[in-house]
Amino acid sequence: TSGLDVARVRADFPILHQEVRGRPLVYLDSAASGQKPQAVLDAIAHFYTHDNANVHRGVHLLSERATEAFEGAREKVRRFLNAREAQEIVFVRGTTEAINLVAQTFGRKHVGPGDEVLITELEHHANIVPWQMLCEQQGAQLKYVPVDAHGDLVLEGLDALLTPRTRILALTHVSNALGTVVPVKELVRRAHAKGVPVLVDGAQAVTHFPVDVQALDCDFYAFSGHKLFGPMGIGALYGKKALLEAMPPYQGGGDMILSVTMEKTVYNRIPHRFEAGTPDVAGAVGLGAAIDYLEGLGREAIAAHDQALLAYAEGALGGVPGVRLLGHGRERSGVVSFVMQDIHPHDIGTILDREGVAIRTGHHCAQPLMKCFGVAATARASLALYNTREDVDALVAGLHKVREVFA
Ligand code: PMP
């Protein structure tokens, strides 16, 4: 019904076709890291086999080809996010580095003693700790938009939380722990009405539905390549040109300069100003290939598949006695988070693993959010374009085994 030929998609992912612990692998942990289609593996191998050289430096042909490949990948990311210009895309190691970059450049410049940084209770540690560090360094205060019992943000008090001292609002697009989809566009509008710029953590969003940074009108947007079925070690930060141009550099070194004397350095233009040192060119090439792959399948078709499978999974898991789903928000994407009466999530994960079913258990790097829900940990199954109803059925069968073991 979704228009996505999942059997064909699965054939593109070699890692899925293996047995683990004597059982066919059922991979339901893509929110932690996505698997890679052959096209991505081939693109990385092709780069190292034919084009490898350092970028932006050499006059020789390989360096030219490597630079073209790297800048070509940047253009693919621009198109993927619908940014206006490729120079608004900074390559980073991943979402974590993107947020640290903004905290330590934009943040150090604009956040002073007594100022406030606003985040939410839904955040991954990657969108909490860099702001805590910044606030500690600058003598500023970190505030949180609260979450309700459904896992939705409580927006009634938002205007009061956006004070004249608020210097930035940083929030996730989709919660990795609950799957809540945050109404980012509305939050951006309300923050901008008070003159507050907005950073969006898109790590769990870009994998599931199309994202348009111009339509959202956010000021920064961050995501990781490895969750997007590309390689580990590469990710992207989008920033509005005027903001990036006014930001001091992040790390110092080669490539981020125009000229260096013993006394003084003239920094390079954006985005290179934020890309000190030799970048992960093969990673960027692999990310570009992942984007091509997803666009080839159709991002709307992927979104429809993911939503249909999520609904199926919620229904199926809700039918297992003793299972309690966490997160019943208005709009959800990609993950089902659950607990089972009297059974520790770690035990659930261990028994499922024996059945070949890979899920994630623990606090999902969102300890403050777990605290809001009064749990230390959950079990989380996350869904991707290569998952099927059969995968969900295997999970449900595994959960019945868990019940038997603990009966
Ligand atoms: N934010 C969210 C919502 C995430 O799910 C993750 C990864 N679990 C991150 C940030 C951090 O991403 P990375 O480890 O790739 O930097």
Residue 136, C-beta contacts closer than 8 angstroms, at least 6 positions apart: none
As given in the structure block, the two tokens for residue 275 are 């890309």
Q: What is the pLDDT of residue 56?
A: 84
Atom of ligand 1 nearest to the CA of 227: 15
Strand 335-340 and strand 378-382: the pairing is: antiparallel
> Chain centroid to CA 320: how far?
30
Rounded to an integer, what distance in angstroms lies between the CA atom of residue 275 and that of residue 207? 24
Residue 312, C-beta contacts closer than 8 angstroms, at least 6 positions apart: 389, 392
Could you tell which of 129, 182, 224 is best to mutate to test the pocket of ligand 1, judged by most ligand atoms within 8 Å of the CB? 224
Nearest one of 49, 33, 52 to 41, comparing CA atoms: 49
pTM for the structure as a whole: 0.97
Nearest one of 95, 72, 31 to 284, comparing CA atoms: 72
Could you tell which of 99, 180, 365 is best to mutate to test the pocket of ligand 1, judged by most ligand atoms within 8 Å of the CB? 365
Residues linked to residue 20 through DSSP beta bridges, in sequence order = 23
Three-state secondary structure call for residue 3: coil
Please work out whether the CB of residue 364 comes within 6 Å of at least one atom of ligand 1.
no
Is the bond preceding 271 in cis, omega lying within 30 degrees of 0?
A: yes
Please work out whether the CB of residue 166 comes within 6 Å of at least one atom of ligand 1.
no
Please work out whether the CB of residue 37 comes within 6 Å of at least one atom of ligand 1.
no
Compute, in angstroms, the gap from residue 297 CA to the centroid of ligand 1.
24
Atom of ligand 1 nearest to the CA of 365: 8
Q: Mind spelling out the 3-state secondary structure of 194-254? A: CCCCEEEECCCCCCCCCCCHHHHCCCEEEEECHHHCCCCCCEEEEECHHHHHCCCCCCCCC
Query: Average pLDDT per run of 10 along the chain, which is 407 residues long?
Result: 87 98 97 98 98 90 96 98 98 98 98 98 98 98 97 96 98 97 98 98 98 98 98 98 96 89 90 96 98 97 97 96 93 96 95 98 93 93 98 98 93
- Model ipTM over 0.95: yes
Q: Which residues of 313-330 are buried (b: 16+ CB within 10 A; e: fewer)?
A: bbebbeebeebebbbebe
Please work out whether the CB of residue 268 comes within 6 Å of at least one atom of ligand 1.
no
Compute, in angstroms, the gap from residue 260 CA to the centroid of ligand 1.
35
Q: With 0-12 CB in 10 A as exposed, 13-18 as middle and 19+ as buried, what is 366?
A: buried
Three-state secondary structure call for residue 309: helix
Please work out whether the CB of residue 96 comes within 6 Å of at least one atom of ligand 1.
yes
Compute, in angstroms, the gap from residue 207 CA to the centroid of ligand 1.
12
What one-letter code names the amino acid at 32?
A: A
Please work out whether the CB of residue 202 comes within 6 Å of at least one atom of ligand 1.
no
218 noted as active-site residue: no
Rounded to an integer, what distance in angstroms lies between the CA atom of residue 36 and that of residue 284? 14
Please work out whether the CB of residue 361 comes within 6 Å of at least one atom of ligand 1.
no
